[in-house]
């Protein structure tokens, strides 16, 4: 996925480094102080509900592999100025479903959401 911010193109990658960065930001501590990363488990549901701050976090961390990446405030401005914000959310979810490091957990979350919706309707 490539986005253009301030007339510069940036590749967004949702790889292992991306997951590691999110897990360092969003985690829970278990018994004995064990740390469990929860980056995708926190951010994906927020993306599905249209949370722009989660979108900004995902894009920011997804550009960490670039030699330089835009500041978070520039990503915020990019999101604020998006002509079709829904399409941007959809593009991010589609990209998360394609990448090796994120595909399985995202598919599982989407399956669980679909099951929960079916159960609440039935």
The residue-averaged pLDDT of 4-22 equals 95
Euclidean distance between CA atoms 57 and 47, whole angstroms: 10
pLDDT score recorded for residue 120: 86
Q: Is the pLDDT of residue 122 over 80?
A: no
The residue-averaged pLDDT of 10-18 equals 95
The residue-averaged pLDDT of 96-121 equals 92
Euclidean distance between CA atoms 109 and 38, whole angstroms: 13
Euclidean distance between CA atoms 30 and 32, whole angstroms: 6
pLDDT digits (tens, 9 = 90+) for 60-102: 999 998 888 999 999 999 999 999 999 999 999 999 999 999 9
pLDDT digits (tens, 9 = 90+) for 26-44: 988 888 888 888 999 999 9
- What's the pTM? 0.88
pLDDT score recorded for residue 59: 97
Is the CB of residue 87 less than 8 Å from the CB of residue 110? no
4 or 66: which carries more pLDDT confidence? 4
How many Cα neighbours within 13 Å face the side chain of 2?
4
């Amino acid at each position: 996925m490539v986005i253009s911010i301030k007339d510069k193109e940036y590749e967004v990658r949702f790889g292992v480094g991306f997951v590691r960065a999110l897990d360092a930001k969003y985690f829970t501590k278990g018994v004995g102080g064990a740390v469990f990363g929860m980056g995708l488990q926190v951010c994906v549901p927020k993306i599905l509900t249209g949370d722009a701050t989660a979108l900004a976090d995902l894009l920011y961390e997804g550009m960490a592999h670039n030699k330089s990446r835009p500041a978070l405030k520039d990503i915020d401005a990019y999101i604020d100025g998006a002509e079709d914000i829904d399409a941007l959310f959809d593009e991010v979810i589609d990209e998360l479903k394609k990448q090796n490091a994120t595909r399985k957990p995202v598919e599982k979350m989407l399956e669980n959401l679909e099951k929960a919706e079916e159960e609440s309707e039935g």
